Structure 1
Amino acid sequence: MSTTETNKVAVTELDINRIMELIPHRYPMLLVDKVKDIVPGESCTGIKNVTMNEPQFTGHFPQKPVFPGVMIVEAMAQTSAILVMQTLGQEAEGRLVYFMGIEEAKFRRPIVPGDQIQIKVQKIQNRRNVWKFKGEAWVDGNLHAEATYTAMIVMGD
């Protein structure tokens, strides 16, 4: 298995503390709890534990809570941003990653509190500071959502 080098220690899994070092998102917008299966510059799997105490469930939908599709795509993007930041290392510290486009988003099954989402991301293309990814959201071995999206690393202020 490929690994990422951080301080000369091979890393194939990132915990929440390392994730918060890599990307600026915080509760309630931090949507990735752990990252595993890292192949630097290529792919990884993010883990999102969906819980009923998250703020979106007070309004989406109180009688039948469903994790919003836009937040699923955001979790895919955050997983990709974590992969990019971990791959680039210190060169990327403090940088932001912005969406440029979202294509081919499909939502096949609802995700609800109690589900654990496995967010599989795969790099399609990288040109300078622009990255294109394919993301998939899996729960219990079933594909629930997928999208292709492009993001840019902001290199200056």
Structure 2
Amino acid sequence: MASAFQHTAAVKHAEWFFQGDEFAWVDSAYPLTCHTIPVHKQPASLLPENALFDKTVSNIRVQSEHCMGALKGHWQCLHGLQVNINSKHQHLEACRWMTIAIILHNLVIEVEGASQGAQFTSLHAHAQEEEDRGLPGAPNVAGEVEEGDAEAKRHKLIEELLAFHQM
């Protein structure tokens, strides 16, 4: 999957998807770049500050997957949304579909109350939960640091996380 990622528009035309310091959280199978910040591989993952960072990133990714799973489970238009994203326009169109679903979700909560919004959490079943967490012991594809300041960017994120936990 990580090698296939190298052939996507997100890599080939990163400016379509990312502006300024924006980046995507990815798992350790993906390379560290200015636009992809993965969790650490061993032995770096054994350092306490990196372990905290990796756990925090993993929790963010799981919560994001739960959110997307719940939206896809409730809004049929997203369940089968399979679009090719080969241009900035196609990317924006896919984002519009997601934005519409999020707006509708918020309207349901506003009009019908939080109890209706709570039903979304049950739409993400145990099987999807296991899938989101990844398979234990799955092999990682070796990635390379493409840009010299990518590691500095990840290190800065770790420092900010540690400072936040000390508050």
Q: TM-score, with normalisation over the residues of structure 2?
A: 0.28
Q: TM-score, with normalisation over the residues of structure 1?
A: 0.29
| Higher normalized strand content (fraction of residues) | 1
- Which structure has more relative contact order (CA 8 Å, sep 6+)? It is 2
| Higher normalized helix content (fraction of residues) | 2
